[in-house]
Amino acid sequence: MDPYVILTCRSQEQKSSVAAGKGSDPEWNETFEFSIAEGVTEIKLKIMDRDHLTSDDFVGEATISLRALFEEGNIPPTSYNVVKDEEYCGEIRVGLTFTPETGYEGGYQAEQESFGGWKQSEYTV
């Protein structure tokens, strides 16, 4: 398996590098930055398996609520369930940091957050 992750926060989308040949134990350790506006409540992670001759395969997805991130300012690497067709198929570890825009004093408009420290956990099915 050659997995990669597509991160989506409302209309913003970013993609990790492909962890070529890493199978079910990839580690990315990449940082992603999004502009956050008021009303944003979650980020979605879509895990894909890159294929060379056919279209990439959907592995599973995770949804992370951002409420605790806004309250605490950061969340250490935490495991989130990955599901496919409403069934558990593994975990992904994600660390989150929230940095309000300098000089802005209200809401979450135009604030930044970074995502990094990724590592999919091993699991037994």
Count of CB atoms situated within 10 Å of the CB of 109: 14
Tell me how far apart the alpha carbons of residues 57 and 34 are, in angstroms, rounded to a whole number.
25
Residue 123 is predicted with a pLDDT of 41
The residue-averaged pLDDT of 51-59 equals: 94
CB count in 10 Å sphere of residue 58: 12
Average pLDDT on 70-80 reads 93
Find the domain containing 14 and state its range. Answer: 3-121
pLDDT at 114 over 70: no
What CATH number does the domain containing 110 carry?
2.60.40.150
- Backbone Cα Rg of the chain: 15
The whole-number pLDDT of residue 117 equals 47
pTM score of the predicted model = 0.79
Helices (H) and strands (E) in the chain, counts: 1, 8
Number of domains within the chain? 1
pLDDT at 112: 44
